[in-house]
A = this chain, B = another copy of it.
Amino acid sequence: MTEFDQLFKALNITEKSLQEKILKVGIVQTVPKNSFIIEQERYIKWLALVITGKVRVWQENEDRQILLYYVNPVHTCVLSLSATFRDCKSLVNAKTEEETIIVKIPVRYVTEWSFEYKSWNNFTTNSFIFSYEDLLHSYKNLAFSKIDKRLLDYLQSESKTNQTSFINLSHNQLAKEIGTTREVISKILKQFELSGIVNLKFKEIELL
């Protein structure tokens, strides 16, 4: 199964003529680990769809970062999507966390197809909806939850998505997900350990 077939299947693209167009203008690209897909303040020329791998999308300040979301197979970064509808600079950064295969579509087709093909329309609409709700959820968390709660939520959701109770991230990496500093994470993790919620090892956190 080619990358395109995977794409068609995942997005439910059954229209033959759309498939042909995608085959014609889409570009399959293998992006090595830790490469930037988008950088804050730069223009977006392609819509990138992740076929395999994982892309981290975040925002940053001078000295802090905060995670927005991960793009997993087979999804797209909603912000490139949004950017494709109007020529503008990216508000975020996106970087591969593993070797990642993407399909790139030039932005001009994205809008066109969304009115022409039902499946493409569904894809774009759903991307917006789910991303919006996801961001809304993060916003609420940020507004109302203390850091310890947010950290625990993060660990639990990591554990769940990776099907393992071991989380292999440094305190520094966690700080950049949550939007705080390393020391704060270390302190809270230590409290968690004393409360019997986790086991701490070097670069490894076990959820109990």
Q: Mark A43-80, 1 if CB is under 8 A from B, else 0.
A: 00000000000000001010010101000000000110
CB of A154 closer than 8 Å to a CB of B: no
User: Closest B-chain residue to A139, C-beta based?
Assistant: B139
**Distance (Å) between the CB of A20 and the closest chain B CB?**
20
The residue from B61, B133, B138 contacting A139, defined by CB atoms under 8 A apart: B138
Identical chains in the assembly: 2
Q: Mark A104-129, 1 if CB is under 8 A from B, else 0.
A: 00000000001100100100111011
**Distance (Å) between the CB of A17 and the closest chain B CB?**
16
User: Closest B-chain residue to A126, C-beta based?
Assistant: B85
**Distance (Å) between the CB of A122 and the closest chain B CB?**
9
Bound: A86/B133 CA distance, A: 12
- Residues of B contacting A92 in the complex (Cβ-Cβ under 8 angstroms): 136
Number of residues of chain A lying within 8 A (CB) of chain B: 34
- Residues of B contacting A131 in the complex (Cβ-Cβ under 8 angstroms): 132
CB of A82 closer than 8 Å to a CB of B: yes
| A132 & B143 in contact (Cβ 8 Å cutoff) | no
- Residues of B contacting A137 in the complex (Cβ-Cβ under 8 angstroms): 91
| A129 & B85 in contact (Cβ 8 Å cutoff) | yes
CB of A184 closer than 8 Å to a CB of B: no
- Residues of B contacting A202 in the complex (Cβ-Cβ under 8 angstroms): none
- Residues of B contacting A142 in the complex (Cβ-Cβ under 8 angstroms): 139, 142-143
The residue from B114, B128, B140 contacting A132, defined by CB atoms under 8 A apart: B128
| B132 & A78 in contact (Cβ 8 Å cutoff) | yes
A-B interface, 9 closest residue pairs, ranked by CB to CB distance from nearest: A128-B128, A66-B143, A61-B144, A82-B129, A143-B179, A59-B140, A139-B139, A142-B142, A115-B121
23 pairs across A/B with beta carbons < 8 Å? A61-B144, A64-B143, A66-B139, A66-B143, A68-B139, A82-B129, A82-B132, A86-B129, A91-B133, A91-B137, A114-B121, A115-B118, A115-B121, A121-B121, A124-B125, A125-B128, A131-B132, A135-B135, A135-B136, A135-B139, A139-B142, A142-B143, A144-B179
